[in-house]
A and B are shown apart, each in its own frame.
Chain A
């Protein structure tokens, strides 16, 4: 039975009853109270994460190229191998190069804004796109299915009970925003999904201009317009987002023209939202088409073709975005992380392409990443066979865990509970990122009392040292009161430990 037929046979009271959905069966489960999140205080931060997902499984060997093993790679890759002299060199490395299309990434690397993590995968990797995407989104072992995402668990830890009680004064904005393709699992928490989805930049433009989009030529076109207007009123975040974007009037001028590079268009909007004051922590954008089983390269020039076009767009978009963040003065607040569901085989196939593989290089970008390369070049056998895969060097969850700990400054206990296990931290972010900043008056008259504090972090103790004054109260906590002496200079310092 069609829904409208069902409605026709019902009394008018049923007309817009969203809970009664023909064919959508509702199943009841015995209610198990969710495990309560850790009662750690929300960490006040202006740091932002931008995740770029490369859908399809990127060919890591033709992205971050092991030039010290070029001959073995050429042997395995046959006609699709990149020309040795076209591979882009990296400052300070004689063994690692980049695909010729990635000039923007090369420039960022050479100026200390890229961290490459080699050989990222997980034990018993899946070769299925959907399953592998779910694994990297949920952060689970490959033999376990989970229905929450690791970013969702992080945000749930920071913004418990979302969406109830939100937006509020501390968090007036959506915790996460994803633009483009709908990939819900990453932001899924036990009780809700913490990402606001902007299906396209067109929708954003509709909010900005207050229009309601094109209405279809159906008998209900007018009614749809009315409903969309109501929806805009109730979309509590739309106005915040529009205001943030309008706070920024000039952006870096080197972006490609709108409509040429969709990823660049989306990152340009994100740069505007970050600089415009949105408190959103995590953004997700994605670029598809990396499943290059066939025609990965052009059959006339292996340095061009499908894969080169994708890497070129990616590189151009990340370079423009990074330049814009610097232009807008917010580069220090942003770390970017790119990931794919898996890498590809060492050996090329017979269709000018490569098949599903395992480990892949992960690129992190931003002024606060620990620039350089973590890990070693993969080992390419002299005569690779179709079943040869790259060895795993780092678990993908170790990268996520390192970012949670060293970028978002979470305690180890919290990180372990979010990542569901313990992973050794990797040096992907510069170490001073989590050093506390003391806030308080910098001028005082003799005898005055002032308060000095650092952002609280649960489980931490704080040892304060004051010269030129005395601590009246608060030693051990994140906030002290100090009475200053009659000297010309006083110093407040604090050591935070867990």
Chain B
């Protein structure tokens, strides 16, 4: 991983500049724990090649790595990944995904079908089938049966972005959907 790529993400964090390095380092450590240490391939010849017997490129994922990735996803989506930042106050940060920010970068977040499609194209490398998309949409509709329930909830938030209740309503539903997406095997395919 190139460091400037890290910078791309860090820019969106509301982290004091003095603490950014610590946050980057915390993520780098997680990469290392999941066998993807940035700039540090496992051997001088690089990563195991796709023709290397007997498992070929499947060597890159095993049960240990997989469960650690799931743990990281859980932390980033839920309570947050705690990063100690001793150089300035406060003494630690919790890194969490901001689900509403993510939805706002999509072209039409008020349409749950478009939202699901676009989130899939951003986060998944390969297309998925309709029942999978339908299930993702149940998170947004939270058990209701028609698309306008989400559209109206998003509309309330978009018209009143500083209203914490409206934000919480859309955020909880996006969190459910995105954590589910990140926890599926499909997400690990590149």
| Interface positions of A (Cβ within 8 A of B) | 2-4, 6-7, 10-31, 34, 53, 55-56, 128-131, 133-134, 145-147, 163, 180-185, 188, 190-193, 197, 199-200, 216, 218-220, 223-224, 226-228, 230-231, 233-234, 286, 288-289, 291
Contact B13 A56 (CB under 8 A): no
B61 to A230, Cβ gap below 8 A?
yes
Task: Write 15 A-B pairs (CB below 8 A) sorted by A numbering.
Answer: A2-B122, A13-B31, A17-B36, A19-B30, A21-B97, A24-B102, A25-B102, A26-B95, A26-B96, A30-B90, A130-B142, A130-B173, A147-B168, A181-B142, A230-B62
Query: What are the nearest 10 A-B pairs in CB distance?
Result: A55-B143, A191-B79, A227-B185, A184-B176, A25-B12, A28-B93, A31-B92, A30-B90, A145-B168, A234-B67
Binary A-proximity of B64-92 (CB < 8 A = 1, otherwise 0): 00110110111010111011000000111
Q: Name A55's closest neighbour in chain B (CB-CB).
A: B143
Other-chain residue from A12, A130, A163 in contact with B47 (beta carbon distance below 8 A): A12
A28 and B85 alpha carbons, distance in the complex (Å) = 12
In this complex, the member of B14, B92, B127, B189 whose beta carbon has the largest number of chain A beta carbons within 10 angstroms is B189
B165: A residues at CB distance < 8 A: 131, 145
Number of A-B contacts (CB under 8 A): 236
CB distance from A156 to the nearest CB of B (A): 11
> Could you list 7 further interchain pairs (A-B, Cβ under 8 angstroms) beyond the known A21-B123, A134-B168, A185-B172?
A11-B1, A12-B46, A15-B36, A24-B97, A27-B95, A34-B79, A220-B189
Q: Is the beta-carbon distance between A27 and B98 smaller than 8 angstroms?
A: yes
Contact in complex: A13, B142 (CB < 8 Å): no
CA distance A3 to B188 in the complex (A): 12
Q: Which residues of A contact B91 (CB under 8 A)?
A: 31
Separation of A441 and B121 alpha carbons in the complex (Å): 64
Give Cα distance in the complex from A31 to B26, angstroms: 15
B47 x A147 contact (CB < 8 A) = no
Residues of B participating in the A interface, judged by any CB pair closer than 8 Å: 1-2, 5-6, 9, 12-15, 19, 23, 27, 30-31, 34, 36-41, 46-47, 58, 60-63, 66-67, 69-70, 72-74, 76, 78-80, 82-83, 90-99, 101-102, 105, 121-129, 135, 138-139, 142-145, 149, 153, 164-165, 168-169, 171-173, 175-180, 182, 185-190
Chain A proximity of B184: nearest CB distance (Å): 8
> Is the CB–CB distance between A288 and B96 below 8 Å?
no
- Contacting residues, chain B, for A30 (C-beta < 8 A): 90, 92-94
What's the nearest-Cβ distance from chain B to residue A130, in Å? 5
Min CB distance, A356 to chain B, in Å?
12
Q: Of all chain A residues, which has the CB nearest B6?
A: A20
A127 to chain B, nearest CB (A): 12
Q: Are A181's CB and B9's CB within 8 A?
A: no
Given contacts A130-B142, A291-B144, contact A218 B90 (CB under 8 A): no
Whether the pair A13, B13 counts as a contact (CB closer than 8 A) is no
